[in-house]
């Protein structure tokens, strides 16, 4: 497992210039002996550059640093990663996002994909399913 982690770190080391930090391996399920690769990254990070799974190990990420205003909510009452929050953030900060990613021609859809876990449409669909199942609260834009 440590060999997989070492390969992962070598392969994605260039992303450390964009704020990626390697946290190591973590055991998240003792009964099933399930390990994951833990990373941290800033909120404005192109998630399309990272896989969800690497050589059989899931990648789990945590956000380092402050979140944009759109995401500063009471997570006990509101779903922090609601698709509308990503859309509002991209609409408000598209110039800054393009500058951060060094892609002056980046489209709104590309920004949403980059920020929303690599695929905005898939994230939006999953949120709709969770909302319909009552697993996440409806969006509140107070």
pTM across the whole model: 0.89
> For residue 59, is it within any domain?
yes
Q: Are residues 127 and 73 in the same domain?
A: yes
- The percentage of residues in the chain with a pLDDT greater than 70, rounded to a whole number, is 98
DSSP state string for 82-96: -HHHHHHHHHHHHHH
Report in angstroms the alpha-carbon separations of 3 from 24, 29, 135. Answer: 12, 20, 37
Q: Are residues 42 and 74 in the same domain?
A: no
- Give the helix ranges, DSSP H, for 52-119: 83-101, 108-115
Could you tell me which residue, 137 or 95, shows the higher pLDDT?
Answer: 95
89, exposed or middle or buried, with CB in 10 Å at 0-12, 13-18, 19+?
buried
Q: Are residues 79 and 105 in the same domain?
A: yes
81, exposed or middle or buried, with CB in 10 Å at 0-12, 13-18, 19+?
middle
> For residue 139, is it within any domain?
no
Kindly report the average pLDDT of the chain as a whole number.
94
The DSSP code for 52 is S
The DSSP code for 47 is G
Q: How confident is the model at residue 29 (pLDDT cuts 50, 70, 90)?
A: confident
Domain count, the chain: 2
131: CB partners within 8 A, 6+ apart: 138
Structure-token pair, residue 118: 């690599």
The DSSP code for 21 is E
Asked if residues 102 and 114 have their Cβ atoms less than 8 Å apart, the reply is no
Q: Please report the pLDDT score of residue 75 as a whole number.
A: 82
Q: Are residues 51 and 96 in the same domain?
A: no
| CA 13/CA 66 separation, integer angstroms | 23
């Amino acid at each position: 497992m440590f060999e997989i982690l070492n390969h992962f770190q070598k392969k994605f080391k260039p992303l450390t210039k964009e704020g990626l930090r390697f946290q190591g391996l973590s055991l998240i399920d003792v009964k099933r002996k399930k390990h994951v690769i833990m990373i941290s990254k800033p909120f404005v990070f192109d998630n399309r550059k990272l896989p969800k799974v690497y050589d059989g190990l899931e990648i789990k990420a945590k956000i380092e640093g402050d979140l944009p205003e759109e995401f500063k909510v009471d997570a006990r009452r509101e779903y922090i990663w609601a698709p509308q929050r990503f859309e509002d953030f991209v609409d408000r900060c598209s110039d800054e996002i393009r500058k951060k990613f060094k892609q002056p021609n980046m489209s709104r859809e590309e920004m949403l994909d980059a920020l929303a876990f690599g695929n905005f449409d898939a994230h939006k669909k999953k949120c709709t399913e969770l909302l319909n199942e009552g697993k996440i609260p409806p969006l509140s834009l107070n």
